[in-house]
Structure 1
Amino acid sequence: MTKKWWHDKVAYQIYPKSFLDTNDDGIGDLRGIISKLDYLKELGIDIIWLSPVYESPFVDQGYDISDYYKIAEVFGSMDEFDELLSEAKKRDMYIIMDLVVNHCSDQHEWFQKALADPYGEYGDYFYFRKGKDGNPPSNYRSYFGGSTWEKVDGTKDLYYLHLFAKEQPDLNWENETVRNKIYEMVNWWLDKGVAGFRIDAIINIKKVLSFPSYEPDGIDGLVSCTKMIDEAEGVGTFLEELKNHTFAKKDAFTVGEVFNMKPDELKEFIGENGHFSTMFDFSAQELDLASHGWYDVKPVGFKEWRDTIFASQLEMLDIGFKANIIENHDEPRGASRYLPDHAKNDAGKKMLAATSLLLRGLPFLYQGQEIGMTNCKRNDISEYDDINTIDQYQLALDAGCSKEEALHACYMNSRDNARTPMQWENSPNAGFSSHKPWLAINPNYTVINVADQQSDRNSVLNFYKKLIRLRKSPEYKECFTYGGFTPVFTECDDIFAYLRTLEESHLQILVAANYGTKAQTLHLPSKMQEMLLSNMVCESELSDVLRLDSCQVVVVRLKGND
């Protein structure tokens, strides 16, 4: 494998609206991010991914972009963004932007011109189609519910396509002019000093242009739009052109949000010369996708979760790196999602951290993960802001769920769980703002916050710091970055264990955790040489027998064969 500058880095996602407010409007801003760069540096972060900060009406929290060349005023100015780039560079840190180019906002100049003349030049920047027999052109359900086709006001039967919200019209990637304008914009940001991009919903850019209808998969008479996306051929041609016209020129780091990828395409996406540097490993997140909605999500067992992660790791060994996540802005909190009830405590959060961050691949932390932030209970749907959550709540009610059952589904699955403001202090509004926050703070900020954990050497935050330091340490960085991965003790219930190995130096490191309720004893393949890290006081002697208490994780160097 050709070594790249980003291979040994640790990344951190910031949701700017919820990170830190410095101008007292209840909304996070660029100045808040700048003020916390030293905090992130001390944590061990190298790459910072910003969720969208472009100009936007915020129908979908900034993922509906009305001007790709402007910073939304609510976040600050372009001068402040340039200052962020400069201050990050001083600390040897890298800023990557969120690239949202499957769709734009309906307020974007292009779409406004398209609406004025759907059959003109700008009309071909989007997908306008005539309906059929008084109905939309086809029966696709959007990612946010309802038809993907929105009727154009003032017309008899003309519709435009939106796979997400109706305010997010899909861009027509078949149009070469559109593609070139996108490449021009990407290069503008790269020239400014951005180190790369997280690439949003990119698999959706390739459509089946005949837009056929399919057998409905729900009582609404619609079918998931992914059915059409799955059948589209040739997305790789677009992605390779995008890379060659932009990223490759600057050795930029790119991480794709890729769903619906065909099984044999992995090497094309993130191999040695793949479309992207890496892509998120969503294999665990996809386990609890419901066939109808959040209301019928089934719990995922430990073994299925563990084995899915292991399979994904093994799949990548001869291909490249994936980006490993526990949570992000579109997912509920990992501590609430993956830990069994008995492990929803500090020990369990540290255990989850270690088993994730030492996997092969690039670790991505999400803001608040490092202090163990959790899902947030709400009393009414009016307390949620997320468009997807509101849709899923109504879907649950339509399916016969009670209000309480529908709210519980939102508590377990809502994207707003990760969007509650960052919990900095045990003070009003958690130190996030002196103004009422745009989204209510999780009440547990009084016991889960940065300030308290900074002063507690046994805190979740300080464990994350130790964990990242270990991953980056001169003695073990090569092993944790490029070393092999071998699952072990898979026959043991509730044990999550694997070896990271570096053959040339005979280095073997065991990461082992007990997700069960009872202590377990493991007979190791060789004697322990050194205990590198544990989330508990470890009573095991350096022998070939390891005793793990419930919720305990250890990182152990084993004696090599030399």
Structure 2
Amino acid sequence: MEKKWWHDKVAYQIYPKSFLDTNGDGIGDLRGIISKLDYLKKLGIDIIWLSPIYKSPFVDQGYDIADYYAIAEEFGTMEEFDELLAEAKKRDMHIIMDLVINHCSDKHEWFQKALADPDGAFADYFYFRKGKNGNPPSNYRSYFGGSCWEKVPGTDKYYFHMFAKEQPDLNWENPKLRQELYKMINWWLEKGLSGFRIDAIINIKKDLNFPDFAPDGKDGLASCWKMVESVDGVGELLEDLKKSTFEKYDAFTVGEVFNMKPDELPEFIGETGHFSTIFDFSAHTLTDGEHGWYDAPKLEFAKWRAAIIQAQLETQKYGFKANIIENHDEPRGASRFLPSYAQTPDGIKMLGTISLLLRGIPFIYQGQEIGMRNAKWNSMEEFDDISTKDQYHTAREAGLSNQEALEVCSRMSRDNARTPMQWTSGENGGFTKGTPWLKVNPLFKDVNVEAQEQDPDSVLNYYRKLVALRKSDELKEVFTYGKFLPEYENVDGVMAFYRKDESKCILVAANFGKDAATIKLKSEIEKVWLSNRIDGTVDSEKDSLNLRSCEVVVLELENHK
């Protein structure tokens, strides 16, 4: 495998709106991010991914872009962005941005021109189609609910949107449109950006016939992803994108890819893949409901373990995936992946250790490093997220009571990850001196950076040790390029694996069970690298290891080849 500059890096996702507000308007800003670069450096972060900061009406929190060349004034100015790039570079850190190019905002100049002339050149930047027998062109349901087709005012045409109606899909079959996008991407890379996280990119390939599918809901519509899964040829578009942009700059790219066909993994992340990496969502999709959040199955540890192991074994044949516990589109991982008895500092450290020491590129989401959990939501009025509101209505239509639907949304809402970062135990968790755009999680008084800075045994200080261990001179090679080998899969509640190369054999073992567990070691312990016990010790005998509930250890074993 050709070694790349990003292989041994640790990344951190910032959701700018909720990170730190410095001007009192209740919205996080670039100045807040700049002020916390030293905090991130101390955590061991190399790559910072910023969720969208472009000019936007914020119908979908900035994933509806009105101007790809402008910074939203809510976040600051282009001069402040340039300062962020320069300050990050001084600290040997890289900035990557969100690239949202499946769709734009309905306020974008291109779409406004398309509406003004539905038969003109700009209409072909989108998908404008005539209806059928007084109905939309096809029966697709958007990701946010309702039809994917919206009437073009004053015409017999509709335009296509897989997300909100304010997010019209861009027509990637149009070479002029593609060149406009490539020019924009290269402009940012010339500016000094190190790469992009690429949003919803699998959706760019459409079946231009837009055939109907069998309805899968009471609304008579079919999920739009069925069309995505049925069509071939996205690879050609992605290769054109890579060769016209990312490849020229040795840029780091991480794709948000769902609905990938089983045999396509090497095409996406192999030696000459479309992207540097893609996120591993295998654990997250275990709680996808058939019809929505309301019928989402409960997480089972055995299935979670099996999903991660399968993804690791499959991926290491070809390249790297990006490993996450949570992001801005998911509820908090500590609340989702840990049973109630494990939603403690020890349990959170355990979950973090497993994630960060898997093979692949670790991504930490803001607040994960202090163990932020889901908030308590008292009413639907407290939510902001467009998807959460749609899921509430879906649950109610399925027969759930108001309280039951609220509980579903409280458990699964993306707003759980978007509550403001908890810096202190003071007003609004130290996020803002104004009124926060989204409520602060009430847990901030107990879970915050300031308190954890003072506690040597805190989740934050453990994460610092964990990241430092992964990047240490002694272990960087084995944690970056070493094989992943699962172990003790037959032991209930235990998630364990080796990271192994020619010179090192590292065992990572965690007990997610409620009771203590004992495992037989295959060789002798040479060194204890990390433990989430306060005294840093392990309970072992010559050939066995005893693990308390929620205990995790990182051990170097005699290397048996």
Q: Quote the residue 2:407 is aligned against.
A: 408
Output the CA distance in 2 between the equivalents of 1:544 and 1:34: 50
Where does 1:159-198 land on structure 2 (aligned, <5 Å)?
159-198=158-197
Deviations 1:78-121 (A, max 9, x none): 00000000000000000001000000000000000000111100
Following the alignment from structure 1 to structure 2, what is the Cα–Cα distance between the partners of residues 2 and 207? 33
In the alignment, residue 26 of structure 1 is paired with which amino acid?
A: G
**Separation in structure 2 between the aligned mates of residue 224 and residue 254 of structure 1, nearest angstrom:** 28
**Distance in 2 between residues matched to 1:9 and 1:263, nearest whole Å:** 27
Q: Which residue of 2 aligns with 1:517?
A: 514
Offset of residue 292 of structure 1: 0.7
Q: Distance in 2 between matches of 1:174 and 1:160?
A: 15
Alpha-carbon contact 1:148-1:166 (below 8 Å) kept: yes
Aligned pairs for 1:240-255 within 5 A: 240-255=239-254
State the match for 2:38 in structure 1: 38
Aligned-partner residue type, residue 386 of structure 2: I
Q: Could you say what secondary structure the match of 1:20 adopts?
A: coil
Q: Which residue of 2 aligns with 1:78?
A: 78
Contact 1:530 1:542 in 2 (8 A): no
The separation in 2 between residues aligned to 1:557 and 1:372, in whole angstroms, is 27
**Partner letter of residue 351 of structure 1?**
M
User: What is the CA-CA distance between 1:300 and the residue it aligns to?
Assistant: 1.9
Return the offset for 1:334.
0.3
Alignment of 1:447-526 (within 5 A): 447-503=446-502, 505=503, 507-526=504-523
- In 2: Cα distance, 1:52 partner to 1:76 partner: 13
> Which residue number corresponds to residue 203 of structure 1?
202
Residue of structure 1 equivalent to 2:131: 131
TM-superposed CA distance for 1:317, in Å, is: 1.6
User: Bigger shift: 452-461 or 532-541?
Assistant: 532-541
Is the CA contact (8 Å cut-off) linking 1:527 and 1:542 kept in structure 2?
A: no
User: Does structure 1 retain, via aligned residues, the 8 Å contact 2:531–2:538?
Assistant: no
Q: What CA distance in whole angstroms lies between the structure 1 residues aligned with 2:71 and 2:541?
A: 55
Report what 2:89 is aligned to. Answer: 89
1:155-185 Cα offsets, whole Å, 9 max, x none, are 2x31000000000000000000000000000
Q: Does 1:398 align with 2:397?
A: yes
Inter-partner Cα distance in structure 1 for 2:495 and 2:368: 20
2:142 paired with 1:148: no
Q: How many angstroms apart in 2 are the aligned matches of 1:224 and 1:214?
A: 8
Is 1:338 the counterpart of 2:340 in the alignment?
Answer: no
Corresponding position of 2:296: 297
Q: In the TM superposition, what are the counterparts of 1:52-71 in structure 2 within 5 Å?
A: 52-71=52-71
Q: Which residue of 2 aligns with 1:282?
A: 281
Cα distance between partner residues in 2 of 1:151 and 1:560: 65
What amino acid sits opposite 1:510 in the alignment?
L
Query: Distance between the aligned counterparts of 1:9 and 1:377, measured in 2?
Result: 34
**Deviation per CA, 1:4-55, whole angstroms, max 9, x where unpaired?**
0000000000000000000110000000000000000000000000000000
The aligned amino acid for 2:119 is Y
Q: What SS does structure 1 have at the residue aligned with 2:539?
A: coil
Question: Aligned partners of 1:127, 1:539: CA distance in 2, in Å?
Answer: 61
2:328 aligns with 329
* SS of equivalent residue, structure 2 residue 317: coil
Deviation at 1:539, TM superposition (A): 4.4
Rounded to whole Å, the distance in 2 between the matches of 1:30 and 1:543 is 54
The TM-score, its normalising length taken from structure 2, stands at 0.99
Instruction: Report the alpha carbon displacement of residue 232 of structure 1 after superposing the two structures with TM.
Output: 1.3
Which amino acid letter does the alignment assign opposite residue 229 of structure 1? V
Residue in 2 that maps onto 1:535: 532
Summarize deviations over 1:465-495 as a string: whole Å, max 9, x none.
0000100000000000000110000000000
Aligned-pair distance for 1:541? 4.0
CA contact (8 A) 1:271 1:319 kept: yes
- 3-state SS in 2 of match to 1:188: helix
CA contact (8 A) 1:19 1:28 kept: yes
1:542 Cα shift? Answer: 6.2
The CA deviation string for residues 285-329 of structure 1, in whole angstroms up to 9 with x for no partner, is 111111111111110210000010000000012200000000000
1:12 matched residue in structure 2: 12
- The separation in 1 between residues aligned to 2:361 and 2:139, in whole angstroms, is 39
CA contact (8 A) 2:205 2:233 kept: yes
> Partner amino acid for 1:109?
E
Partner Cα separation in structure 1 for residue 559 and residue 254 of structure 2: 35
Q: Deviation per CA, 1:434-460, whole angstroms, max 9, x where unpaired?
A: 001000000000000000001100000
Aligned to 1:308: 307
Flag the 1:138–1:561 CA change in 2: closer, same or farther, 3 A: closer
CA contact (8 A) 1:423 1:448 kept: yes
Unaligned runs of 5+ in 2: none
Determine helix, strand or coil for the equivalent of 1:34: helix
Contact 2:332 2:372 in 1 (8 A): yes
What residue in structure 1 maps to residue 544 of structure 2?
545
How far did 1:560 drift? 2.0
Paired letter, 1:426: S
Shift of 1:561: 4.1
Residues matched between the structures, number? 559
Instruction: Specify the SS of the correspondent of 2:435.
Output: coil
Return the letter of the residue paired with 1:274: G
Q: In structure 1, how many angstroms separate the alpha carbons of the residues matched to 2:51 and 2:474?
A: 34
Q: In the TM superposition, what is the alpha-carbon distance from 1:543 to its structure 2 partner?
A: 2.8
Give 1:544 shift. 2.2
Indicate the RMSD between aligned Cα atoms, in angstroms.
0.8
Deviation at 1:378, TM superposition (A): 1.0
- Report sequence identity in percent: 66
Amino acid at match of 1:372: G
CA distance in 2, matches of 1:133, 1:375: 47
Within 2, Cα distance between the matches of 1:393 and 1:318? Answer: 41
- Contact 2:540–2:546, Cα closer than 8 Å, also in 1: no
Mapped pair 1:374 → 2:373 = yes
Matched, 1:430 2:429: yes
Q: For structure 1, which segment, 253-262 or 531-540, has the greater mean C-alpha deviation from structure 2 after superposition?
A: 531-540
Write the distance in 2 (CA, Å) between the matches of 1:75 and 1:560: 51
Q: 2: distance between equivalents of 1:296 and 1:311?
A: 25
Cα separation, 1, equivalents of 2:458 and 2:281: 28
